[in-house]
Amino acid sequence: TKKGILFAVLAACISGVSIFYNKLVIVKGIDPLIFNIIKNGGVAIILSLILFSLPQRNQLFKLSSKTWKKLFLIGIVGGSIPFILFFEGLKSASAINANLIQKSLFIWVAAAAIPILGEKLSVWQVVGFVLVLGSNLLIGGFTGFKFSPGEFMILLATLLWTVEVILAKITLADTDNLIVSWGRMFIGSFIMIIIAAYFGKLPLIFQVKSDQLIVIFGSIIFLTGYVSFWFKALKYAPATIVASVLILATPITNILSAIFITHTFPQVQILNLMGTAIGILLISILF
């Protein structure tokens, strides 16, 4: 479990930087669907190179049809549709609100993991959940939801990712985490290509400029690291703990926004980080 928590912390750090970075990328006018095909496809290629160079490749050819069905579902609810929804929503929602909505994942995961996976929360963990939620809502730079279509898209994406977490946790019980990561990104990328072809957007790939590809390459690296650490974390630790640790990304994004956009670093940002850190400690240590 401690190993899983460590991987979750690494995933949270990458996620916090990635959310802020991707907000900057989106404003450059790249179509969200094309952006995700290139980004997720790049991750799929990297994971494929890694997978087929390791002994785990032998396990891939021995997977049962039941496991392949699970990987296919993970590709749909985790590796394709929610990415499209999230980045479409990110075009109109603020980086802080988008990050906060996405990081409400830990609440939805807890609500699903307790009855479905049989996970339990101690009293102190519940206190930690309340502290994390309160610190991010009240003092995290959050100024209120706009109830815009963009925010609703991000919420729907978050709910789909919740389904993915539960499904991935079940799949990881007897499947290598690298294979699950690869399945999510490879199958998800393939599905997005089909969607782009259906809407006649595939030609837009050839309109992406070289300087944009360089920027997207940064997103590919971030996502590769995030996916790898995220599924490693789910492999070893309870879903409720892993999802809650991910909320650390919110104050990280807030800090980056303060440094590079608002150029102010108010005390509330420090309080947000402290409150979130204490809450996560309660959740991840007193389980």
- The pLDDT tens digits of the residues spanning 159-175 come to 999 999 999 999 999 99
The predicted model gives 250-273 an average pLDDT of 79
Tell me the C-alpha distance between 174 and 40, whole Å: 25
Check: CB of residue 219 under 8 Å from CB of residue 23: no
Report the percentage of the chain scoring pLDDT > 90. 57
Range in 22-26, 63-67, 184-188 the model is least confident about: 22-26
The predicted model gives 258-265 an average pLDDT of 79
Distances in Å between the Cα of 50 and the Cα atoms of 17, 39, 46, 173, 231 are: 24, 17, 6, 21, 15
- Could you tell me how many residues make up the chain? 287
pLDDT at 26 over 90: no
Check: CB of residue 106 under 8 Å from CB of residue 244: yes
More confident residue, 210 or 200: 200
The predicted model gives 240-247 an average pLDDT of 92
Provide the Cα torsion 174, 158, 208, 178; round to 10°.
-10
pLDDT at 124 over 70: yes
Q: Which of 249, 206, 190 is nearest to 13 (CA)?
A: 249
Q: Which of 78, 69, 244, 65 is nearest to 166 (CA)?
A: 78
Tell me the C-alpha distance between 165 and 109, whole Å: 7
